[in-house]
Chain A
Amino acid sequence: MDRVEKLIKQYLKKHLDFGKDNKTDDCPNEQILLEYFEGALDEERRRSVEYHIAGCGFCLSQLNIAFESQLMNKQDSFEAVPQKLINKTKSLLGGFNDGKGKKVRRVKITKKLFFLSGAIVFFVLSFVIPKYFIQFLVVTLILGMRWAFESENSRTFIMVLDSWRRHSQAKDEEISLRLKNRF
């Protein structure tokens, strides 16, 4: 590398946003960068992506990684990965696949419905069999409380009430974050 090249390199590194890890919210996602790389973007989009890349060290290095990975993939020159790690990852992801996530959700819903229906049944029974009125009412109360605590909406509702009561800003933020995540 000659001295002029060194000067340009040094300038680019120092005076543009050329930290390789300076990822920003404006950085295009992997698919857009890939489309730029493959020349699949329309002219207007290409210009805007290029404008960004020209001043972003992170995206530039992403392009470089994409390029190098395609090359290495063709040559099949990647080093081996411990099979133990691969198996660990497979089993980690396995829990989220094949509808297992749905199954877990279904179990939760069934559990909630069990508490709710149980509470209703015992509440009705307390009037049907007056001899055990208090006992049935206690069971109704326990099941009702279990239902309330199992329910995400109820938990959030309780937290909202609690927050209003205490006026804690940290708690308010936590709740608003939780509500945001829900939608």
Chain B
Amino acid sequence: MDESEIIKRCIKKDRKAWDVFIQKYSRLVYWAIRKRLTASGFNSNEIDIEDIFQEVFLAILKGDKLLQLKNAKFIPGWLAMVASNKTVDFMRQKVRLSQDLVFDTPVFRDDTFEQELLSRDTVSVAKEVINTLSNKEKVIISLNLIEERTHKEVARIAGIPVNTVSTIIARTKEKLKKELKKRGIGNNI
């Protein structure tokens, strides 16, 4: 049974197709859940992961979410996002109950350089420079710096040539450096 056949039969709520679907994509869903939990710094246990795992498949079945999928070829990416989305819902629900969630911890704490980075002037220059970027450029910079994707990977995600990605990143950094120097702040940069 190929992927599109599985999806078609799952939409028709064929039990055997669902068994194949769960077996085939269980590792991917499991990975996506763990990935999101780790990225969020959420304090979870194996029972939580199992709950989310079941909830993901149940939500797809009950919400007829497979109807949303236009091309069975892209199911891994789609399924990973659904699993990740469900994980966030679970974390939100749990945090509402226990308030013990630790989201993105600050990257910088006791470093004097980092304090300089976060000074009002420096941040305002960064803001000015970043605000001049187009949305595409912002997405590129964020994928590279926040999600830590290589230039090649960013190019694949944003659908543009690698050279363009490298140029945008280098140009933004250069522009920020110049602006900071022009205003006599961030001399260490």
Interface residues of A (CB under 8 A from B): 1-15, 18-21, 23, 29-31, 33-35, 37-39, 47, 50-51, 53-55, 57-58, 60-70, 72-73, 78-81, 85-86, 88-90, 92-94, 96-99
Contacts and interface: CB of A to CB of B under 8 A. Distances in A.
A33 B186 CA distance: 37
B81 A15 contact: no
Interface string B137-153: 01101110111010001
A47 B77 CA distance: 21
A21 B88 contact: yes
Given A39-B159, A72-B31, A73-B76, A4 B176 contact: yes
Nearest to A4: B173
Given A4-B177, A63-B157, A97-B18, A92 B142 contact: no
Among A1, A60, A72, A89: residue with most chain B CB under 10 A: A89
A135 to B, nearest CB: 46
Nearest to A67: B157
Contacts of B127: 11, 15
Nearest to B80: A69
B40 A89 contact: no
B147 A61 contact: yes
